[in-house]
Amino acid sequence: MKDATSLPGFEHSNLSMLVAAARRSIKHAVAPLLEPLDLTPHQAWMVLLIRETGSLSLTELANRMWLDHPTTSRLVHSLEVRQILQIKQDPTHGRRIRIGISEEGAAFAEMLFMAAENFRERMERDLSEEEKDVFRAVLRKLLGNLAEISAELPKGKSAPRTRDLEPD
């Protein structure tokens, strides 16, 4: 295993660069695993999230995935066409839909879950629960700071979309 801290400039890199590098590294590591399944990382994340939580509304799913509604809707549609996800009316709310794993997609979701668990275990190897908790706390602060910055930007087409840290 190559020690990232031995990379030139690691100790002097700012946090935003390190977060971007980690995101990019995860994406590059996951992409070849998902290619045979014909899934993007976001599609895989969506299937895994719904497998873990059970059916969700579009808003709940968008919030949990840190995505806007149109992007979430497109991802749902792409997985519904493949019969991995199914959309049903919410019996408790006339206008709301619930997005869940289809009967046809259940075995696929389980296989994806096993592969994801293996990846997570390998990625988090050598991290204690305390280190994971500290990392989550630091990320929570960074995301909160970014939400504040975003809220101060002028609202318009060029302003990036963010969501609150707490779901609606």
Reported as a single tens digit per residue, the pLDDT across 62-97 is 999 989 999 999 999 999 999 999 999 988 887 889
- Contact assessment for residue 140 and residue 164, using Cβ atoms and an 8 Å cutoff: no
Q: Where are the domains of the chain?
A: 16-125, 127-168
Q: Mean pLDDT of all residues in the chain?
A: 88
Specify the CATH number for 16-125; select among 3.30.565.10, 1.20.120.50, 3.40.50.1460, 1.10.10.10: 1.10.10.10
When mean pLDDT is compared across 2-6, 35-39, 131-135, the lowest value belongs to: 2-6
- How far from each other are the two terminal CA atoms of the chain, in whole angstroms? 42
